[in-house]
Amino acid sequence: MNRKSLSPRQLLLIRQALIIVAIIILAYFAVNYARNVMRYRAMQDELAQMQGHVAAAELEKEQVDREFDESLSPAVVEEFARKELNWVRPGDEVVITVGEDTAPPPDAPVVTPTKEDTPPENQPNWQLWLDLLVGD
């Protein structure tokens, strides 16, 4: 095909076809580029979110490490042993108080005995027990 053998109309059609093909190729690359940019931005957002989770986990780890180190100090171990496990050191005097644990909690309702709850004073003990067991 010689250039001189093509008419100007045919040359115009060939140029138009090449321009259309070039536009299609450029549109394909533009769409792929836009898709890659959107994917990149989504990955950046996910990366920032994951970095936030990592930072929070590192702070929590530091706090747990600090609490663990504090729990190994001799003062904390001794306090735990004395209060929770009721241990004593050799030479300490053990004092057991009576009735300390039987006190009701401060928010417990106060129960006042009624006349039915109090036993009559003139009945013998065996009669009180019989009334209690039989439910007279």
Greater confidence, 131 or 115? 131
Provide mean pLDDT across the span 32-40: 97
Task: Tell me if residue 19 falls in helix, strand or coil.
Answer: helix
CA 83 vs CA 45, 96, 104: distances in Å:
50, 13, 20
Instruction: Report H helices in 72-124.
Output: 74-83
Which range of 15-24, 73-82, 91-100, 126-135 scores highest in mean pLDDT? It is 15-24
Provide mean pLDDT across the span 5-22: 94
Task: Tell me if residue 133 falls in helix, strand or coil.
Answer: helix
Provide mean pLDDT across the span 46-75: 94
Tell me what pLDDT residue 70 has.
87
Cα separation of 14 and 20, whole Å? 10
What are φ and ψ of residue 108, in 5° steps? -75, 145
Residue 119 reports pLDDT greater than 60: no
